[in-house]
A and B are shown apart, each in its own frame.
Chain A
Amino acid sequence: MDTLKINIDGVLYDALPNETIMSLADRVGIGDRIPRLCFDPALPPYTSCYVCVVEQEGVGKLLPACSTAVAPNMVLHTQSQRVESARKTALELLMSNHPADCVAPCSRGCPAGVDVQRYLAQARNGEYLDAVRTIRERNPLPVVCGRVCVRKCEDVCRRKYLDDAVGINMVKRTASDWWIDHPYDESTPTSTGKRIAIVGGGPAGLTAAYFLRMKGHEVTIYEAQQKLGGMLRWGIPDYRLPQDILDFEINEIIRLGVEVHTGVWVGKDIPFEEIRSKYDAVYLSLGAQLGSEAHIKGEEHPGVMTGVEFLDSVKKGHDLNIAGRRVVVVGGGNTAIDASRTALRLGAEHVTILYRRTRKEMPANPEEIVAAEEEGVRIEFLIAPLEVQAVGETLTGLICEKMQLGEPDASGRRRPVPVPNSNHMVTCDIVIGAIGQKVDLSGLTGESNPLTVTRWNTVKADELSSVTSIPGVFSGGDCVTGPAVVIDAIGAGRKAALSIDQYVTVGQPHAVVEPFSARRENFGEIRKAELPPAAAYKRHHLPSIDVNERLSTFEEVELSLEDHETVEEAGRCLSCGCSAAPSCELRALCERYGLSSTVSGQTVFQPVDRAHPFITIDPNKCILCTKCVRTCGDILGVSALGLVNRGFDTVISPALGKTLMETSCVSCGNCVDACPTGALSFKGLARTDPAQKSVTSLCTLCGAMCSMEVATNQFGVSFRTAKGADGKRTHLCGLGRFGYEVLQSGERLKTPMIRRHGALVQCSWDEALKAAAEGMQRVREQNGGKSILVSGGAYLSCEEASVVAQLGRTALGARVGSLAAVADDGDVYSLDEVYGATGSTVSYDDLEAASLILVVGDDPMERNPVTAARIRRAVRNGAKVISIMPKASSLRWLASVRVENHPGAESLVLGWLVRKIIERRPGDVGRELAVVRDALSDCTENRLAQEAGVAEGHLEAAFDALMKAQGSVVAMYAIDSPHGRSPDSTILLAQLLELLRPADQRSGLLLTQNAANLMGLKTAGMLPEDKEEYVAFAEAIRRGSIRAAWLVRESPSANPMLSQALARLDFLVVQSTVMTEIASRADVVLPATTHLETGGTFVRCDGTIMRVDPALPNPAAMTTTDAIEKVLQLLQVDMEAGHAAMAQRLAKCDLRLAVKGQFRWLLPRPGVDRSSRTDSEAAAHPYIRSKIPVRV
């Protein structure tokens, strides 16, 4: 083949003629240099996103790499400044019209970045320990935070637009309290040998210690006080955070192997230089321990103290002689509240808080303020102290002035200004000034310690990397920011740990930034209407101990929610975060191109379509790449989605303002697979959480057995992606995508049941299996084995079918088979005499290589949209389609010849074609063909017109197309068509193909089935061996000579004949996943395993053997197979022989080879099957509309 030399980024590559720049780049392994959003390898290039642009020397325009073909002597740049700038602008433009959230606002609002949405989901499932683990990924102090956190997450919670914010912290508290009683051991990695000193054992230091330990570093904490905890211990009163609880949480960190030196003041007790020289890195997390002076005259009086001093003294047990005294607290923060409530508990006569602004501006938690007032604290607003009044040692009062609010200051709060001539006296005995805290850096600065300090006397450190002016010394928390709250310190500690880890391992500190996140709030006000529907619970309130009781004790005031309340509270979460965030291609590119999340420009919030049971369309996240539209229309031929409007207002939507549910959508979910963002997403709790396990699996719900990847997490199936064995994206239908959900809907059977006094009651497995075995034996003894029916459904694996067969044949001597085969008239034997076996002679892959596809008897789109998609692909590659069907099927646009016949009359059409082909043969056709021809002599145009309703012209066209066929011809026939089959259709099709010889090797018959593993059941020996046995089996059921039945995942209720035949049984055992109609009539009900839980062997309807691992655990104690094997043991059957036989059969099984060996001409007897169903009748058939699997 000719090649072209193309220069890309200075390197010459050989390009193939007509390939695009992108395909060349992908082929030579530099595809990652060209980002892409609208390109879908399964579809022709579309060229809309323009992030794949590259620059060609000498060409003014940028070239979209996805659609520009290579040309001789091209010199291309994929990463030039111009290219990168254009790509970045494209992304900025896309994001400027993306009014949506990547990450929920709660997580973004949390300084530690805790994945709130996830732990709420875990708590809602009652998985408290998982919730704690989630929190501790970011915050190692959940118990502390569960009590004292200021809850920035709740401030930004979207639920408040509906009613009140989710009580996030209440949930955290319940979960973390549970953890106190159920601590788990954490393992740390092997030591890196790096040593890190942490100066200050408060929340920042403890957090840094935890994360550094989890990285395998050796950590030593130096704490000036006698105990760890910092302000958690000395600044927060016990009634909010009991000591023992704090001790527990600190210990959970220390016991990971953190070395602790308490009572050591670095810089006083041990020189800072020494620490610096002994360790690979130092983290300064000193906190802000000193109370600020109030700058009021006379504040040096011993009756005046700072809030920090006061709380610290109380904690340390000093007697401050508060009882009976009048206390004034100055300030409006949490320390002021803590001090005042503590003073009350120490017996103060009364406590007054003076605050210079109003309640609205108070920085303390509103709940704390309310609690303080409940307890009797008076708060006076707009008052500022001026001077302490004292008579000698005795403080008499505080001269104050009134304030009023003026213009807003730098903090955005309105500045208080004095009201002239408003001085007055507030009498009191003790003044506590809680107006702020300062950092004590003594011993850490100086010549040998060039630690740069800010003008507020805090450590100067970089916000993202935590580095200070001294290499190897990091700092964070209050000593850098000034007094802040616990969760800020935790966030700082984690950031520092990550940066220090990089510093000691690779030598470079690391700026810790959260990944790019789009933010809905950047696009204007959030309206109620745009929020998802949510559980109707109101916000719960934490219970607390009685007010009177509180004042006499330092016992914890607030209590936990009850379990059910916690679950309800967690259930109030709206799951704002985007479920696609972890895999979003748009977000990844925004991250790669360093976009900031700020936007400019107008946008309009579009309503979200949530009407579909499985799929949500959120146009606000759409980038109009139309991969969904093209997948739906061009690949599946459904066209449920399209583009609406023009210009900036263009959106992807179903036409005419409909919801997806109101369209022709077949619920296959391939649009969601195609979506590069979260505009299309799967619904459900399981999907809000990242997948933890991914299993290459198989949809075993119909005979096409599409391969897929099943991702699971602790909530169950998180998503299913259509993925071929080569890892490339393929397609699934609704059955594969959502069949599991449908099968799971309703209550799963997990415990066996047995009939007692007319009612089914739960019992043990042993009891149930014994009753089942004995019941069957009894019937066998009374009526003989042939009065017993052992039958398994088509979803069973070969292994399951094999034990069913052993139970029936070996153990009970029963009639063994599948009701599906009875309902479907046994076409599964129809070619035994022709080929020596019945099965497909070509594979699914041959379908796409065919040049002529003959579709007989059923609509592939209806049965299996994926197969229909493959036909469509074949047509795109130039194949012709002849359809012979009882109605205008979805292939009508594709078929070049359409024969529309009455239901059940296909064989007349086929007979006519076969006769015609033989007649046209030149010369002597031989005796065999002559006999066949003569047998078909009554397949005349006349008869066809009358009985099949087929006009002549169409037949001629079909005949011509067959005669002209070049290349391979594949005939598809649905052997379990819901429309019914006409006699001898398979034989006639086989003869037709035989007559068209010599054809391509890949020509042949593809027998499709909806009854999933029908071929496998046959292979496993569960079906009757041959037509004769099958007829006897079917007859026995029809005659009603069955006295007992053991049904494994069978549902005869939908078929009146079967239902009637099984109406009066002496004994019935049903193995089922859910309580079906037949199960409700059983004497013994055994839980069964289902799709995705059952591993094993399956035989695809083209004869391919497929093996699959279970993706999900079995919810019951025993699997289907376990239960039957146990019964076989009880019946003393040696299973070895049966297993060996089955293995042998599977090993030998290659249906395609088996049926290709020979051909025997039979005499076909085409006719019209009068029982065939019209469309509406067929709709009632259990296998129609492949969307709905039968729950068995």
Chain B
Amino acid sequence: MMKMVVGTATCGVAAGANKVLERLKNLQAVQSGEVSVTETGCIGMCFMEPLVQVVDCSSTRLYGKVTPELAEKLAAGKADEETESHLLKVDQETDRLGVLDRQKRIALARCGLVEPSSIDEYVATGGFEALDKAIRFLTPETVVKEVLDSGLRGRGGGGFPTGRKWSFAAAQPGPVKYVICNADEGDPGAFMDRSLLEGDPYSVLEGMVICGYAIGASYGYVYCRAEYPKALVRLGQAIEAMKKGGYLGNNIMGSTFSFEIKVKEGAGAFVCGEETALIASIEGRRGMPRFRPPFPAVKGLFGKPTNINNVETFANVPWIIANGAAAFAALGTERSKGTKVFALAGKVQRGGLVEVPMGMTINELVMDVGGGVGEGHTFKAVQMGGPSGGCIPAEMGDLSIDYENIVKTGAIMGSGGVVVLDDTTCMVDVARYFLSFTQAESCGKCTFCRIGSKRMLEILERITAGHGEEGDIERLLDLAEKIQSSSLCGLGQTATNPVLTTIRYFRHEYEAHIRDKKCPAKSCAALVAYEVVPEKCTGCTLCAKACPVKVISGSLKQVHHIDKQGCIRCGKCYSTCNFDAIIKV
């Protein structure tokens, strides 16, 4: 019997997986039971979605960019030139692109391989073994020590040792304590938490239950953004199944330990990823951070000791308990153990989700795993850590990725968003983009964050619009320093990192904008002019037709000319020309 598995995580759905699934389900062969069709989560090759796995008695074959038609062919067992051109991987062999082989999958181990809603598949793949081991054989103190010894650090961005965090909460007197899973993933370009919750919700929940056992908590919350409908559905299914299976509720797995989990939907405020704001939001108040100390471990949700970790952190926990701290600590670098999931996005060839051991270099990540930037372009920088992170130039590509190294560059590891930038990316504009995000997402509490970031943004907007003034860079640096040092929470303290790192590594681009009124990447619309290359112009008139303000003159088969005076720099001609005869200057 043949089994077909369609990747229906959000990345797959966005690429058309639902149509593939629908077509398959309507097939005679499927309805008659000859071919079974199931769903799975994201395997990480988002750039090749929709992905379909075909499992029959002889092999397991993974196909990418599958159309409904192709899926039909595959279901019929046909193999021809077309189907084989979509084949990515056969059985355990090396995948054709080499994307998967450089990876070491712990948190993502089951993603894209198991059916996310099925607790049976989870159990069949070793699920709840860690929980069973913890409850039956380990004391809470031992569990905390295992996590501590593993060297696991908070994957949400801060990189605080998870075991230490647990030990603080464990040391607080009971009886009521809380475990919170922070699934308020808000960085633009980051989607690892979403994929994890969509692809393997059980491992996250198992990690939470183990945490509850370790710190002596009986209640857990998953704070998940409402923009992740699929993840919320999967979470709900998983919690129900775990309750039925005795993995949640009273007397878990026959022990005296009881634990409950509720899902709380966030309304999409970025700042609610900050732990005190998140707590306020769960409590029903406006999501705004408060001063720490007291830390949540001492006074958290509803005033009780609370441990907060993010999705990926919890997903690592069952593996650590099952395989032992030493196995985890054997991976990674001196101070950053284990693996890290990165969301590769931007100008990279193979965008997607990858999990690699700590210590891989930036070049390996971008070039080897990600396939580098597009042809004809050069790799310029990576933006790491989302809006709180910063830009690391390509020259530093040999830097091995661990928490300390990244911080030294001025960026942060963050939750693992990696946006690859090439020579067409304007670094001032990148800074402007990320600051516009944090500026709009500030909770409005602190003076510096609320107004200071707005004023910085205005300066950046001015610079990219060609109205930069001498002294603007100094003004940016002065404000940035003050916003960093005088804001209550991480959002404000790190909001200026994109600006600071771009000034640090790409100051010349700022200066070119300000002094020469030029955008070196030819990206800022206001600083770009368009010209016709006479040698290449065929006089096809397409550009003249496309121009909305009709400033392109020239008759058929004659070289055209753009009147720069009236040009509004919309770029229509540039994208219309089929002969590369229009260039940016």
Contacts and interface: CB of A to CB of B under 8 A. Distances in A.
Are A and B subunits of one complex? yes
B360 interface: no
Interface string A622-655: 0110000000000000000011011111100000
B485 A60 contact: yes
B447 A50 contact: yes
A96 interface: yes
B296 to A, nearest CB: 16
B485 A648 contact: no
B454 A50 contact: no
B440 A646 contact: yes
B88 to A, nearest CB: 42
Interface in B447-461: 447-448, 450-455, 458
Contacts of B484: 61
A645 B444 CA distance: 8
Interface string B415-451: 0000000000000000000000001111111111011
A1054 interface: no
B458 A643 contact: no
Contact of A62 (B286, B290, B485): B485
A1114 interface: no
A69 B293 contact: yes
Contacts of A45: 291
Interface in A58-80: 60-62, 64, 67-69
A602 interface: yes
Contacts of A642: 286
Interface string A1064-1102: 000000000000000000000000000000000000000
A49 interface: yes
Interface stretch (A85-93, A213-221, A751-759, A1029-1037): A85-93
Nearest to A600: B455
Given A62-B486, A86-B485, A89-B482, A647 B442 contact: yes
Contacts of B446: 47-48, 50
A585 to B, nearest CB: 14
Which residue of B441, B445, B478, B493 has the most chain A CB atoms within 10 A of its CB atom?
B445
A1083 to B, nearest CB: 62
A322 interface: no
Given A61-B485, A601-B458, A93 B447 contact: yes
Interface in B336-394: none
Chain A contact residues: helix, strand, loop or mixed: loop
A51 B447 CA distance: 9
A97 interface: yes
A717 B488 CA distance: 41
Which residue of B442, B452, B458, B486 has the most chain A CB atoms within 10 A of its CB atom?
B486
Contacts of B454: 601-602, 647-648
Nearest to A623: B447
B75 to A, nearest CB: 48
B479 interface: yes
Contacts of B486: 50, 53, 61-62, 64, 86, 90
Contacts of A64: 291, 486, 488
Contacts of A51: 447
B269 interface: yes
A94 interface: yes
Which residue of B290, B447, B482, B486 has the most chain A CB atoms within 10 A of its CB atom?
B447
Contact of B447 (A68, A90, A601, A647): A90
- Chain B interface size, as a band, is 20 to 34
A48 B482 contact: no
Contacts of B445: 47-48, 624, 650
Which residue of A50, A649, A650 has the most chain B CB atoms within 10 A of its CB atom?
A50
B458 A647 contact: no
Interface string B456-494: 001000000000000000000011001011111000010
B488 A96 contact: no
Given A50-B486, A90-B486, A646-B269, A97 B444 contact: no
Given A48-B445, A647-B454, A86 B291 contact: no
A61 B455 CA distance: 21
B7 to A, nearest CB: 35
Chain B contact residues: helix, strand, loop or mixed: helix
Contacts of A85: 482
A275 to B, nearest CB: 50
A637 to B, nearest CB: 15
Interface in A31-51: 45, 47-51
Given A50-B486, A601-B454, A643-B286, A650 B444 contact: yes
Nearest to A649: B444
B485 A96 contact: no
A67 B488 CA distance: 11
B353 to A, nearest CB: 29
Contact of A650 (B290, B291, B450, B453): B450
Which residue of A49, A61, A86, A89 has the most chain B CB atoms within 10 A of its CB atom?
A89
Contacts of B291: 45, 47, 64, 67-68
A47 B290 contact: yes
Contact of B444 (A47, A49, A67, A643): A643
Interface in A584-610: 600-602
Interface in A707-744: none
Given A89-B482, A648-B454, A49 B293 contact: no
B441 A48 contact: no
Contacts of A49: 447
A600 B440 CA distance: 19
Contacts of B447: 48-51, 90, 93-94, 623-624
A968 B479 CA distance: 54
A642 to B, nearest CB: 7
Contacts of A646: 269, 271, 440-444
Interface string A664-701: 00000000000000000000000000000000000000
A942 B444 CA distance: 56
A93 B451 contact: yes
Given A45-B291, A69-B293, A647 B450 contact: yes
A615 B269 CA distance: 32
Contacts of A650: 442-445, 450
A220 to B, nearest CB: 52
Contact of A94 (B288, B442, B451, B458): B451
A909 to B, nearest CB: 31
A647 B439 contact: yes
B106 to A, nearest CB: 34
Given A60-B485, A61-B486, A647-B444, A624 B450 contact: yes
Given A69-B293, A601-B455, A93 B485 contact: no
A310 to B, nearest CB: 52
Nearest to A60: B485
Which residue of B286, B484, B485 has the most chain A CB atoms within 10 A of its CB atom?
B485
B450 to A, nearest CB: 6
A62 B483 CA distance: 10
Nearest to A20: B291
Contacts of A643: 286, 288, 444
A632 to B, nearest CB: 14
A623 B444 CA distance: 10
B269 A648 contact: no
A85 B458 CA distance: 21
Closest 6 A/B residue pairs (Cβ): A650-B444, A93-B451, A67-B291, A648-B454, A50-B486, A647-B440
29 contacts: A47-B290, A48-B446, A48-B447, A48-B488, A50-B448, A61-B485, A67-B291, A85-B482, A86-B486, A93-B448, A93-B455, A96-B451, A96-B455, A97-B451, A600-B455, A601-B451, A601-B455, A601-B458, A602-B454, A623-B447, A624-B445, A624-B447, A624-B450, A643-B288, A646-B271, A647-B442, A648-B454, A650-B443, A650-B444
Given A48-B488, A62-B485, 20 more contacts: A47-B290, A47-B488, A48-B447, A50-B447, A51-B447, A53-B486, A61-B485, A86-B485, A89-B482, A90-B448, A90-B482, A90-B486, A93-B447, A96-B455, A643-B288, A646-B269, A646-B442, A647-B439, A647-B454, A648-B440
